Amino acid sequence: MYSEFEVSISSIFLAISLICGCLMWVRRKEVPDRSRTYLALMELIPAGCSVLVLGCVILGYNILQPWTLLEPMKSLAGLYVITLAMCYPLEVMRPRQLRGRWLLLLWLPSLVVTLPFLCGLQFQQLHTWSDLREHMLDPDVLLRLLSIAFVTVYSVLLLFIPYNWRQSSADYRWIRQFTFFSQGISVLYYGHVFTNLHFFMPLHVLWSAFVMLYLTYYELYIRILPPPQKKSKLPEPEPATASAVADMVEVEEDTYDFWPNICQVMDEWEAWRNPNTTVETVSTAVGTNRIYVARCIREHTGMTFNDYMNNKRISYMADQLRLDPTQDQKHLYFDVGFRSRHTAYRNFVKFIGSSPTDFIASLS
């Protein structure tokens, strides 16, 4: 049976997931893709499962087998939950592409693992690690272990999926952050299904609730959305050619001024528009290391690399607002490479000296 503490934690999770899920569902049409729809489902479906479990606890019926390893319902539910959770970031990274066969491919592992049990395959209860070793090769145990393996794969899946940053409001930092959230949920989930210790359940539920709160806040207040049907004519930044790199390597790095090469990457290729541009990517493009790039930028501009990048972004945005003050500020934020409203607003105030709204008012 569940303790009063576990019931309280589950109730808190239920309240948070219901509030966040309903809020995302109501405001799902404010974005040009289905990201908020997937996020709402990711929050509402676990809430429904919590209602079911709490209802069974109140009625005195425990639907989960106590003190068993790889409890069947937990093993399969974990795979379904993380598969559902992947729909949201994939839609953010690749808007409007998670359709048809791609959606089926995402859910295929869950269907493959579940189908044998729907056809009548019986579960073997595992009470100890000795039971697990003894029945390791049984079909039902292998399927449960396979579901755990898929959870592991899905927790790092985003790191290996290419995406077009010109059409996506994600960047590598956000992808790593979401992967960290997924891995945290997965690790606590492993502890729960492999030990069934009550210690892991509250941590797993609280961490999941925190992730839901953060993602809801991110959608409403941080995420910068791409303009609808945006078609950029800007070329992708190209890496330096092998001959250009070879020419630069022939010169001593301590005496060679990389500033013209940095200006080419920044001004001609407009690498500052890419939210994933770092001092490492620029140093690779010009054929040197990050220390020389950072030092060169500081010598010629007096700014750090990040300030230099953000100054270019804000300067371009200010020029565009001078040409047309009626432009959508959020679309300009996206166009210059920002993916966070807070970061964009803070840098605008830092380099212009006023907020975008005050700046536009001063133009009139």
Q: Is residue 310 in some structural domain?
A: yes
Q: Is residue 233 in some structural domain?
A: no
Among 166, 191, 222, which residue terminates a domain? 222
Residue 69's SS3 state is strand
What residue numbers bound the domain in which 285 lies? 242-363
Same domain, 206 and 246: no
Q: Is residue 237 in some structural domain?
A: no
Same domain, 284 and 174: no
3-state per-residue secondary structure call for 193-260: HHHCCCCHHHHHHHHHHHHHHHHHHHHHHHECCCCCCCCCCCCCCCCCCHHHHHHHHCCCCCCCCCHH
Strand partners for 340: 223
Number of domains in the chain: 2
- In this predicted structure, what is the pLDDT of residue 10? 82
Q: Is residue 236 in some structural domain?
A: no
Using 70 as the pLDDT threshold, list the residues of the chain that sit under it: 1-3, 57, 60-67, 229-256
Same domain, 30 and 104: yes
- In this predicted structure, what is the pLDDT of residue 201? 84
- In this predicted structure, what is the pLDDT of residue 345? 95
What would the pLDDT profile of 193-208 be if each residue is shown by its tens digit?
888 777 888 899 999 9
Among 172, 194, 222, which residue terminates a domain? 222
Same domain, 215 and 260: no
The total number of residues written for the chain in this structure: 364
Same domain, 19 and 130: yes
Q: Is residue 359 in some structural domain?
A: yes
Q: Is residue 191 in some structural domain?
A: yes
Same domain, 246 and 195: no
Q: Is residue 229 in some structural domain?
A: no
What would the pLDDT profile of 37-54 be if each residue is shown by its tens digit?
999 999 999 988 888 877
Same domain, 215 and 329: no
Contacts of 6 (CB under 8 A, 6+ apart): 198, 201, 202
Same domain, 188 and 66: yes
Same domain, 250 and 177: no
- In this predicted structure, what is the pLDDT of residue 226? 85
Residue 63's SS3 state is coil
Same domain, 270 and 165: no
- In this predicted structure, what is the pLDDT of residue 217? 97
Same domain, 27 and 123: yes
Instruction: Evaluate whether 356 touches 321 at the Cβ level (below 8 Å).
Output: yes
- In this predicted structure, what is the pLDDT of residue 120? 81
The CATH number assigned to the domain holding 288 equals 1.10.10.60
Among 222, 250, 278, which residue terminates a domain? 222
- In this predicted structure, what is the pLDDT of residue 63? 57
- Tokens found for residue 18: 């219901």
Q: Is residue 228 in some structural domain?
A: no
Same domain, 170 and 93: yes
Instruction: Evaluate whether 340 touches 224 at the Cβ level (below 8 Å).
Output: yes
